[in-house]
Chain A
Amino acid sequence: MVENHSREDHETGGENKEKRPKFFINDHVDILIEILERLDGPSLCVAASVCRLWCTIARNDSLWENLCFRHVSPPPSSVRSVVLALGGYKRLYTGCVRPVRSRLGRVRRATWAGDEVQLSLSLFCVDYYERLGGSNSNGRLVEKSSPSSLMFLCKPVNV
């Protein structure tokens, strides 16, 4: 619904362009951010392909932070520094929170909302650790270029 809203704004903006537009969403970035904050993950990705401004805004990690903690009580402030250190909220959302939520969503249990994020964070951390790879150049551990501890969250591809 919110998405249609933003599109409408854009369209009316385009329509009115011929006769001196009164409102063009891209002039009001704060409103745009408010709108984008309410989108879900796939919509946010779609929004990122609209234009360069939207792309820059959609890459802003705070939007994804809202997405991650949308349905849970606000997390302690220390979480942000940890998540940013481990790779950022967008990565956390797309890699862990979204698949975890969609899978657990089938077994809807109200008490799990906060724990879902906890579990996602833990899995995210393991993934970060794998991405670290080896620190020595002569060790065979360096071949960890494709972290695979989150593979079980991916949907199987029909070859």
Chain B
Amino acid sequence: MVLYDSATIGGSCSGSSSSSSSSKPPPLQQRQQTQQDIDGFLAGAGYRVRSSELRKVAQRLERLETAMVNSPADLSQLASDTIHYNPSDLASWVDSLLSELTQPPTCPSEFIMDPVSNQTVVSDAWTTAEPHMPQVHQNISYEQQSLNNQLTVVPAMEEDSGIRLVHMLMTCAECVQRGDFSLATSCLEDMQGLLTRVNTVCGIGKVAGHFIDALSRRIFQGIGGGSVNGGSAYENELLYHHFYEACPYLKFAHFTANQAILEAFDGHDCVHVVDFNLMHGLQWPALIQALALRPGGPPLLRLTGIGPPSPDGRDSLREIGLRLAELARSVNVRFAFRGVAASRLEDVKPWMLQVNPKESVAVNSIMQLHRLLGSDPNRNSPIETVLSWIRSLNPKIMTVVEQEANHNQPGFLDRFTEALHYYSTMFDSLDACTVQPNKALAEIYIQREIANVVSCEGSARVERHEPLSKWRTRLSGAGFRPLHLGSNAYKQASMLLTLFSAEGYSVEENDGCLTLGWHSRPLIAASAWQAVSDGTADFPA
């Protein structure tokens, strides 16, 4: 993430590095040999500045620039009221403007200050008590401090504000966890002010913006999550589709799961795939094609797609099924489709899937199992119910792809911190992909996840991601044993990643499972499982 590894941050914090702004003229030693007093280069441009004063003038120009950036309201005043010196006398001109804009600071010059306590002190010194004024204050006081040393660094406002944003986000989250909502609200206002001078198109600004939105949703709209989870099925499918196209995570999930299913179905003539979230069915064309070309000919393929019911009478599941059937017909694969409409996965009962005892079953869950982890003390744990009926189907293989993150911790602050790191990494990886028109929609898809993790609780919070190690324990405990995803899957995943011209993605093998990550932080994990057979299985293998 930008804020932790940019070299200039270290420089600006210590205040002792000597990088200068690009407008600074070439080193003094060179020209002192050629010119006496007035600097030759600047004279050529029409400015008369003494060589001895060059450093001072440069510093003051930097201060003027930061001051102007921070208080645009004063600029109009400058234009009308001030007496301007002739700008060719650069030194006096800069001084005159500076004296108009700034006032001597009265606060102690600490770098990062607690925004709340700062406000009360500052309101005496300034006539307007705008919340963003303390930021100007802190920057100028910091600059004065470092002016005593050698050349100042142009305080890259971006990176300073980035760190400050992160600190403030943590403070706000902590307030929310404590229940101190008034403090959290003022934190929010500060952050929103800070956000106006950070680049929100990329980097920390964008991620912070989403988290600030999610926090304000939690504080002001409560944890019911109505607007977050209220997206229509059509919207969700559209966002999912753009997320599929903009970055490789879903493609990795689909191709890896398909490879595992293909290998598991080797030698079987009657196969049945159960998809827990059909969406547009983008996973299945590749499997149909691979089955069509497998040595020995294609099997009879049945696909059961589970999805939310469509509100306006349109049967979207059936439409997807028809498309897939047309594709299968083109490539001569015998195909049958069945749609099961259910708004929640735990409402599905095994009899709805109509599994034939003679066929080999594959269960495919792409980022669906974590939604079952919300525990309601009044009902049986939904995850256990679903896992037990999956097991009763005796599937040849169950492919599970889940986000590799720990977003189901009970403590809010821990969850918030983890989510901040995870989604920052994910946004970084998205930034590196080629610019496409649908990237914005992919970001909205991620933003909805963030909003759900941060601002919802109870049954409204469905994005309960758990890391691979926890899933391993859970699935082993439910009677499944892991299947190793072979080297073919690894090879295919590596090839797929190379196709995405973004450098930085990495596929790793983790004890038979594959993870896709950004710069060695795994973000999504794919694994395959088989039911441990015992004598009480309903369908003979």
Residues of A within 8 A of B (CB): 76, 78-79, 81-82, 85-86, 99-100, 103-104, 106-107, 111-112, 115-116, 118-119, 121-123, 125-126, 128-129, 132-136, 138-141, 148-149, 151-156
Contacts and interface: CB of A to CB of B under 8 A. Distances in A.
A103 B330 CA distance: 29
Contact of B492 (A119, A121, A135, A136): A119
A112 to B, nearest CB: 6
DSSP majority for the A interface?
helix
Nearest to A81: B332
- With a 10 A CB-CB cut-off, give which of A129, A136, A138 has the most chain B CB atoms: A129
A132 B496 CA distance: 24
B290 interface: yes
A119 to B, nearest CB: 6
B491 A112 contact: yes
Given A115-B492, A122-B255, A152-B500, A134 B292 contact: no
B23 interface: no
Contacts of B500: 152
Contacts of A149: 244-245, 282
Interface of B: 234, 244-245, 248, 255, 258, 280-282, 285-286, 288-290, 292-293, 295, 297, 314, 316, 319-320, 322-324, 326-327, 330-332, 433-436, 438, 491-492, 495-496, 498-501
Contact of B245 (A106, A116, A152): A152
B498 A135 contact: no
24 contacts: A85-B330, A85-B331, A86-B331, A99-B499, A103-B499, A119-B495, A119-B499, A121-B293, A122-B255, A122-B285, A122-B290, A126-B282, A128-B330, A129-B327, A133-B323, A135-B322, A135-B326, A139-B316, A140-B234, A140-B314, A148-B245, A149-B282, A152-B436, A156-B434
Contact of B288 (A116, A123, A125, A140): A125
Given A121-B289, A138-B314, A140-B314, 17 more contacts: A79-B293, A99-B499, A111-B491, A112-B491, A115-B491, A115-B492, A119-B496, A121-B293, A125-B286, A126-B286, A129-B285, A129-B324, A129-B327, A132-B327, A135-B326, A141-B320, A156-B435
Contacts of B322: 135-136
A125 B495 contact: no
A141 to B, nearest CB: 6
Contacts of A128: 285, 327, 330
